[in-house]
Amino acid sequence: METRPGTRAGPGAQRGVLLARTAEAFLVLPWRQRARVGAKSPATPRPPAVPPLPPRGSAPPRAPEPCRGPRACRRADRETPGGGRRGMATRARGFSLLRGRLGRGPVRVPGVAERAWRGFGSSGRRHEAIIISGTDMAKQIQREIQQGVESWIALGNRRPHLSIILVGDNPASHTYVRNKIKAASAVGICSELITKPRNVSQEELLDITDQLNMDPRVSGILVQLPLPDHVDERTICNGIAPEKDVDGFHIINIGRLCLDQHSLIPATASAVWEIIKRTGIETFGKNVVVAGRSKNVGMPIAMLLHTDGEHERPGGDATVTIAHRYTPREQLKAHTQLADIIIVAAE
């Protein structure tokens, strides 16, 4: 989900812009001319650059003491040699924050002792939310994959073959597997289903993955998760050859993903990244909130979005915040209000 600027500015925004322009015009004027803004009388001559000599017999002016920290430096900038206070530095600082909110650069104000204040930026603006539907996009991707498969076969290569291992009788797992077989058939990929009872041993599953790894006709292997409690999912996923690990759950593929190298990326994370690229959503420097930290969905999505776009496997160059079940509701609300993109990867 992306938020984009609206087309109309409310009265509050208009007043804010007017205030900013008024403050800018006020601060760029010389110190003595500010008191005469709007006056029609001619400007009085400026005082000489070199102050007059003190009267004979008076004590010489004190040399400025070195600053002893940020507060002392700011106090020294506000004080004139005669003991008066310019008051300009405080206004300059307040205005620099205002300029930072408007997205401008550093500000340097006349009359202040060569001090530049760095502004700050915030993307926490209230925009209209846009929900992206992937139905039409999925059809387009399906056509592209089908053309790619046919071109691959036309070059004399073997038709891709997917082997799916399904353990137990979980209704949701059976539904997911049927959809995967249907999607593979729609693009011209052969598939086979290997079913095992819930009480299958971990050693037997590892033997099956070893046989599929050595089978030259098998292009990809997929183990439908979750597995029974007595089977370690990580061990089974690591038993699949990395080059045939279509789910991208092998430790080598996860490691290469974290190192910004080319690898097989988990399907959900790859789908989110594909949607972002195809819709033209700008991620460079944006604030992104990913709700969910699972190793198969939330973490890969965050890795794709925050990594460097100049690396071997380009990333989104975004500032990513990961929220999970223990994130306080107040913090979650604050993060989402500041976010440019929100991705929900949790149930």
Would you name the residues annotated as active-site residues? 180, 224, 247
Q: What distance in Å separates the CA atoms of residue 339 and residue 281, rounded to the nearest whole number?
A: 13
Distance, C-alpha 22 to centroid of its chain: 35
Tell me how far apart the alpha carbons of residues 211 and 163 are, in angstroms, rounded to a whole number: 11
Distance CA 90, CA 78 (A): 8
DSSP string of 71-130, one letter each residue: HHHHHHHHB-TTS-B--HHHHHHHHHHHHHHTT---EE-TTSSS-EE----------EEE
8 Å CB contact between 290 and 345: yes
Task: Record the tokens describing residue 185, joined without a space.
Answer: 């058939």
Give CA–CA dist 287/320, Å, rounded. 6
